[in-house]
Amino acid sequence: MSGGAPDNWEEGGAGGALNSDAPTFVPRAAALAFVPRSAMMAAPAAPAAPAPPAPSVPAAPAAPAPPPPRPPPAAPPALPAPAPALAADGLARQLETQAKVSPPAPAPSPPPAPAPPAPSAPSAPDDPSAAPALAPAVPLTDAERQAVLDCHAALTADDARGHLNVVFIGHVDAGKSTLGGQILYLTGGVDKRTIEKYEREAKDKNRESWYMAYIMDTNEEERAKGITVEVGRAKFETATRRYTILDAPGHKNYVPNMIMGAAQADVAVLLISSRKGEFETGFEKGGQTREHAQLAKTLGVSKLLVAVNKLDDPSVALADGGQGGVGIGWDPARFGEIERGLTPFLKSCGYNAKRDVCFIPISALSGGNVRDRPSRGDGDPCPWYTGPTLFEALDAADLPASDPLAPFRMPIVDRYRDMGTMVMGKSEQGLVRQGDSLLLMPNRVRVRVEAVFRDEAETPAAKAGENLRLRLSGCEDTDCSPGFVLCAPRAPCPVVVAFEAQVVVLELLEHNPVFTVGYRSVLHVHTAVEECEVTKLIGAMDPKTREMKKAKFVKSGAVAVVRVQLERGLCVEAFDALAAMGRFTLRDEGRTIAIGKITRLPKAQTVAGAGGAGASGGGAAA
């Protein structure tokens, strides 16, 4: 280039003309002398007259000799003169910000592209081994421990009765909603005028026997079809206990909803229709009686009350009232047939038939043997039964043990907006108080508990095992979803995308009879639902020696240890740490194919961002 201009400066825009409205040019500290393009174009043959816009650039020599001279050595020290203008410019602030983030370079370099500010919490890396682990749990101070214990003691003193969540399960049309409605009527939850209104509505629809179910099935679609879709909720009390009813749907299309309800239960009431043909339909292959019993055990329900319903139906009742009585009698032979048919199957599900299972004959429609025993003597439909009523069996059930000092855990079932963000769920562990600061996982959003509601009434605190509604501040209802977990900030819930588990393969699909690496299914754990894939078959149990051996695949009935990969980060716990969040079910094409428990979590766990459902990462357990 001619005219003595230095050969290492950067040219202007494509137009070639100087923009007089452009901001002041700030040269780099390492750049050489600046010569404007206008001066170079205006007088290429006379380098003695450089343009004057840059006062810090020394004037060119009066008589330059060809070839063009290099700038004198004194010129670079004069370049830092425009520093005040640089400090006021946006570029200077950007460079200062970058200097704080990046280590200082030994020599000046061209300004890089603007860098984003350093995040406070790094996202999960692609390499699972490099994923940061969650901070270890912080123990409570002595003052905090004492405050929790005092609050727990105050709650116990206020109401010493224990609380149980009872889920009604069973095949479709077994009488679950009818039993729920009858219990509410017997305990004063529904007045007689409402019952009469429902009787008229049911009669208008030619469904006279459905009126009790209308108490639980409030949706018009459910009433019209006679099928429960969503999990119905209600509460009732006895002299010694408080209960929450969870009326689960019985139709096979709504098994995911049933799982959501059973995941919150402590006790299950398995309704069996003793009507001729209905028990056989529900218990045969593909019937919901079998699947519901298996799912209840998988989801942690240890106590099962088998309510044999509809013994007063004309298809199975004794016309003479049984043993010479008058009226309709309940056939002991039919009751014994059902008991003998179910007991071996329930044992195979893991129930102890003597300790965990109780068979009770009832009539959900008339209320017989639900709260009160039928009167002895003439008119007694079941003089042959000497066991407890349904209420007596519920009151005798053991309460689950709970530790008030354990870190709080509550999987979210549902959320809505009502003067703030309201979340619903069962408190699985710990104690929650109004004013507590909690962590919403996997998004790691800090929230504050503004109000605690138990049984529709506001309370200052609540113990573990309660079905709660919490009003939160610090998040919107769109920030949380079913499957998210509220937990104590001192001990956040693990968020992983892979884990190791022991699974029992129940019954695989006919067209996919092999369970091996690459098998994809839908995982249900507490209130979360996520797609998953088996990425490694670690071993299979030998049925004879009960030892784990290497295997490439397993079939129905096998017990195996597998590594499961999830689509997104999920809040879970190891089974030994918290059983309610460590049990899971695998379903494929609407059928339950396997049940299992989480045995190992990866050391490196996902650290979720503030706006997502959990960043991917975490990897498989080492």
DSSP string, 440-487: EETTTEEEEEEEEEETTEEESEE-TT-EEEEEEESS-GGG--BTBEEE
Domain's final residue, options 453, 487, 521? 487
Say if 16 falls within a structural domain.
no
Under the banding of pLDDT at 50, 70 and 90, the label for residue 431 is very high
According to the model, what pLDDT value does residue 306 have? 93
Say if 425 falls within a structural domain.
yes
Q: Are residues 271 and 376 in the same domain?
A: yes
CA distance 466 to 32: 75
Domain's final residue, options 444, 466, 487? 487
Q: Are residues 478 and 518 in the same domain?
A: no
Q: Amino acid letter at 148?
A: V
Residue-wise pLDDT for 223-249, tens only, equals 666 667 777 788 888 888 889 888 888
309, containing H or E segment: strand 303-309
Q: Are residues 521 and 588 in the same domain?
A: yes
CATH value at residue 245: 3.40.50.300
Q: Are residues 463 and 501 in the same domain?
A: no
Say if 177 falls within a structural domain.
yes
Say if 43 falls within a structural domain.
no
Residue-wise pLDDT for 142-191, tens only, equals 888 888 888 988 888 888 888 888 999 888 888 888 888 888 888 888 77
Q: Are residues 517 and 447 in the same domain?
A: no
Least confident among 8-22, 385-399, 482-496: 8-22
Q: Are residues 323 and 472 in the same domain?
A: no
Q: Which two tokens stand for residue 55?
A: 């006062």
Q: Are residues 444 and 546 in the same domain?
A: no
| Domain range enclosing 448 | 407-487
CA distance 333 to 310: 14
Q: Are residues 191 and 168 in the same domain?
A: yes
CA distance 577 to 601: 11
Q: Are residues 352 and 457 in the same domain?
A: no
Q: Are residues 173 and 256 in the same domain?
A: yes
Say if 101 falls within a structural domain.
no
Q: What is the domain count for the chain?
A: 3
CATH value at residue 539: 2.40.30.10
According to the model, what pLDDT value does residue 620 have? 34
Say if 587 falls within a structural domain.
yes
* Secondary structure of residue 208 in the 3-state scheme: helix
According to the model, what pLDDT value does residue 114 have? 47
Instruction: Inform me whether the pLDDT recorded for 4 exceeds 50.
Output: no
Say if 77 falls within a structural domain.
no
Instruction: Inform me whether the pLDDT recorded for 508 exceeds 60.
Output: yes
Say if 516 falls within a structural domain.
yes
Residue-wise pLDDT for 432-461, tens only, equals 999 999 999 998 999 999 999 987 888 999
CA distance 363 to 225: 22
According to the model, what pLDDT value does residue 116 have? 45
Q: Are residues 574 and 456 in the same domain?
A: no
Residue-wise pLDDT for 565-589, tens only, equals 999 999 999 999 998 899 999 999 8
Least confident among 2-16, 409-423, 424-438, 439-453: 2-16
Q: What is the DSSP string of 322-341?
A: STT-SSPBP-HHHHHHHHHH
Q: Alpha-carbon torsion 220, 221, 224, 225, what sign?
A: negative
According to the model, what pLDDT value does residue 367 have? 85
Domain's final residue, options 487, 519, 545? 487
Q: Are residues 420 and 308 in the same domain?
A: no
Instruction: Inform me whether the pLDDT recorded for 13 exceeds 70.
Output: no
